[in-house]
Amino acid sequence: MRKVIVTTAGRPDEESFQLAKQISEELHVRYVPRKKRSVAKIGNLYQANVIVAGKNRFEYYAKGSSTPFFFHPDTAAFRLKRLERGETEPFIESCGLQPGDSFLDCTLGIGSDSIIASFTVGESGKVVGVEVDPIISFLVRRGLKEYKTADPVLKQAMERIQVIHAEAVEFLKKQPDSSFDVVYLDPMFEETIEESNNFESLREVGSHHPLTEEWVKEAYRVAKKRVVLKAHFRSTHFEDLGFERKVRLTSKFHYGVLEKN
């Protein structure tokens, strides 16, 4: 794992100190006093990525970057509103999710798609998100439980998600056959989507694992209904790995579906 340290906000209060010490102990990363230094200076001095424990949230900076990764619902908030109005959602249509279904997100990231899945499957369903990077896993797990929102529907959808820190293929190998209705794969895009600033901050600090035949094979075994892939529209993964591509003419990413026989 890359070197990571944790520090406080620029003007830390007692809460910031306590949060920094807590994450230091839980993730076994070094705590470094802020001493009025910039995050960039601390990152360069210790040659490390930097977690900043602020009063309201954690921010995670890649070494040399001025744009942090932090948890927030991202696109899930307005996508959920559209669903509540009865509008369609390409992700849900591709997954074919129904209330009570079980959904396994093998590449959780910030969790936006899993939030939408959680809303759709409801209290009787189950959503599990697997994240290989231990820092991202920690920040998203905390964020899903603690993010402040006045929207009770969004809050409940976030709180129902179970976050597991694991490598996706190894996790899949431990699951029984047909144990999740839908298995979802959303590896880091091979190409940048320029307008997605949040994705870029995640790209800088996250772990990059290319999609493999073994990964798809294990996902297919674990899925009861289908495996769904999200990838850049130029990706050859759809055709190379046997997915039926769902073309979206106005979008830079497409979904692919691998139905169970």
Q: Are 144 and 118 in contact (CB under 8 A)?
A: no
Check residue 205 and give its pLDDT. 59
pLDDT average, residue stretch 148-173: 96
pLDDT at residue 200, rounded to an integer = 59
The class that CATH gives domain 76-259 is alpha beta
Q: 73: number of CA atoms within 13 Å, CB side?
A: 27
Please determine, for residue 245, whether its predicted confidence score (pLDDT) is greater than 60. yes
Write down the pLDDT at residue 261: 75
CATH 3.40.50.10480 boundaries in the chain? 4-61
pLDDT confidence band for 67 (50 / 70 / 90) = confident
Helix, strand, or coil (residue 129): strand
Class of the domain covering 4-61:
alpha beta
Q: Where in the chain is the domain with CATH 3.40.50.150?
A: 76-259
